[in-house]
């Protein structure tokens, strides 16, 4: 999925001399490989060059650096849990798409939580609102400070089980089978649910994960931290972004894919379900989830129209919509899968944040009325 520039293209994009390009390579800032067509020549990774160009454009003033952390900018928190690098989603050094091929969700929790013995998830209560299910645990929950790692894992397992029950999981057993049982799915469809939960388990410092870490930095109980993450996830620009993708697909069903895509783009809107800032060459989670899912003709036409209009590759929101249609899942299955899968990552970040005895408390740059003397 990587894209590579020739030496001449790299120099043109960076606007630097050859010696500076070689310095970037020697410092590990830009990856280099031999040109497959001519091993005597070198190629340079395009996304490394794009990231370096953006950092140089922002400059190094403290205000510019701070502002750039807000949206897809400079890293702001150290983590060993997950990252996105060169178009790949990595969980503690392992490719998430490789894990999704066979790994149970519980094994991914064990990897992310670094727990030798992840406690079995107890049965979750059914027919509860997910927010109510987590809030019900907060009142009697223990704060994070002073809890051992094993007890934090137990707290996380209990909270995720309660969340799963509220989102439709039924009975006991592996988490993906509980959800499949609640949705009345056969074993092959249950495996697609497993893949989705693994691929959604974590995604670096996204908005909901940051919310969970902020809550953890205050010492709030595990269930409260997961509730903070769930609240952030519920917004239409995050976990409920799938609703916009579904609306685009419904318009494509009614008016034709080309007309629907043209109208959305004419309204100066980002095309939902396609493209991702961290994956300029395509979302690997979508590719892994769509593998084995047959697109219906309308969704296939929508993919073609998006590719022709804006070179848009399907992202995970589109893949979840395709999954929902193919398996006849509940209308809000995309959000449910996101919430249940991502809760595993939230718990990992809560545990990691709890190791730091400091509150996350950035400063604001005041832009209001002038203070009167």
Q: Is 276 a catalytic residue?
A: yes
pLDDT of 86-132, one tens digit each? 889 999 999 999 999 999 999 999 999 997 545 566 565 555 799 99
Q: State the Cα–Cα distance between residues 35 and 271, nearest whole angstrom.
A: 35
Cβ contacts of residue 125 below 8 Å, gap of 6+?
133, 162, 165, 166
This prediction's pTM: 0.82
What confidence score (pLDDT) does residue 66 get?
54
Contact present, 277 and 203 (Cβ < 8 Å): no
- How many whole angstroms separate alpha carbon 201 and alpha carbon 92? 12
The active-site residue, picked from 155, 276, 283, 349, is 276
Instruction: Name residue 94's beta-bridge partners.
Output: 91
Question: Which helix (H) or strand (E) element contains residue 266?
Answer: helix 257-266
Kindly list the distances between the CA atom of residue 143 and the CA atoms of 289, 309, 351, in Å, as whole numbers in the listed order. Answer: 37, 51, 12
- At residue 74 the predicted structure's pLDDT band, cuts being 50, 70 and 90, is low
Instruction: Let me know: does 120 contact 160? Beta carbons within 8 Å.
Output: no
Q: Which H/E stretch holds residue 94?
A: strand 94-95
Handedness of CA 106, 110, 116, 121 (dihedral sign): negative
Q: What's the rounded Cα separation, in Å, for the pair 182 and 192?
A: 15
- 314 three-class SS: strand
Q: Give the range with max mean pLDDT: 12-16, 207-211, 308-312.
A: 207-211
Q: Which of 317, 332, 349, 356 is catalytic?
A: 317
Whole-number Å distance between alpha carbons of 344 and 223: 12
Using the structure block, give the residue that is written with the tokens 């049965």: 123
Domains and CATH numbers, the chain: 4-68 (1.10.1660), 77-357 (1.10.580.10)
Structure tokens at 295: 């697109």
Question: Both tokens of residue 180?
Answer: 């499949």
317 is known as an active-site residue: yes
Which tokens belong to 40? 């005597």
Range with the poorest average pLDDT among 25-29, 156-160, 212-216, 274-278? 25-29
Pair of tokens at residue 34: 């031999």
Q: How confident is the model at residue 1 (pLDDT cuts 50, 70, 90)?
A: very low
Q: Quick one: angle between helices 257-266 and 242-255, nearest 10? A: 130
Query: How many Å apart are CA 91 and CA 93, to the nearest integer?
Result: 5
Under DSSP, the state recorded for 215 is H
DSSP-derived pairing of the beta strands 94-95 and 82-85 = unpaired
pLDDT tens digits, one per residue of 228-260: 999 999 999 999 999 999 999 999 999 999 999
Handedness of CA 172, 177, 179, 184 (dihedral sign): negative
CA angle at residue 335 from 272 to 255, to 5 degrees?
35
Asked whether the beta carbons of 197 and 105 are under 8 A apart, the reply is: yes
Check if the beta carbon of residue 132 is closer than 8 Å to that of residue 144: no
């Amino acid at each position: 999925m990587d894209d590579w520039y020739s030496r001449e293209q790299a120099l043109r994009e960076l606007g630097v001399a050859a010696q500076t390009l070689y310095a970037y390579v020697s410092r590990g800032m830009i990856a280099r490989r031999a040109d497959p067509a001519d091993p005597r020549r070198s190629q340079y990774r395009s996304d490394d060059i794009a990231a370096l160009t953006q950092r140089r454009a922002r400059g190094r003033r403290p205000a510019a650096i701070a502002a750039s952390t807000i949206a897809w900018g400079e890293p702001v928190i150290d983590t060993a849990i997950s990252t996105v690098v060169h178009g790949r989603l990595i969980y503690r050094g392992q490719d998430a798409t490789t894990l999704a091929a066979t790994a149970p969700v519980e094994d991914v929790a064990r990897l992310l939580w670094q727990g030798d013995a992840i406690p079995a998830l107890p049965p979750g209560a059914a027919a509860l609102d997910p927010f109510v299910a987590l809030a019900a645990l907060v009142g009697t929950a223990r704060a994070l400070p002073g809890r051992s790692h094993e007890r934090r894992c137990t707290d996380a397992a209990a909270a995720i089980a309660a969340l799963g029950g509220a989102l439709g999981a039924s009975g006991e057993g592996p988490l993906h089978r509980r959800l499949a049982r609640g949705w009345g799915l056969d074993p092959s469809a249950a495996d697609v649910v497993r893949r989705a939960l693994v691929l959604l388990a974590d995604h670096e410092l996204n908005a909901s994960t940051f919310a969970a870490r902020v809550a953890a930095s205050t010492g709030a109980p595990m269930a409260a931290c997961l509730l903070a993450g769930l609240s952030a996830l519920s917004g239409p620009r995050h976990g409920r972004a799938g609703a916009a993708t579904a609306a685009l697909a419904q318009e494509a069903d009614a008016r034709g894919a080309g007309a629907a895509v043209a109208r959305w783009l004419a309204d100066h809107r980002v095309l939902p379900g396609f493209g991702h800032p961290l994956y300029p060459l395509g979302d690997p989670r979508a590719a892994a989830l769509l593998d084995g899912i047959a697109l219906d003709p309308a969704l296939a036409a929508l993919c073609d129209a998006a590719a022709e209009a804006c070179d848009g590759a399907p992202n995970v929101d589109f893949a979840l919509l395709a999954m929902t249609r193919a398996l006849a899942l509940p209308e809000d299955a995309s959000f449910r899968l996101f919430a249940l899968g991502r809760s595993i990552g939230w718990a990992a970040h809560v545990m990691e944040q709890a190791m730091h005895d400091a509150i996350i408390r950035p400063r604001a740059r005041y832009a209001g009325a002038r203070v009167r003397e």
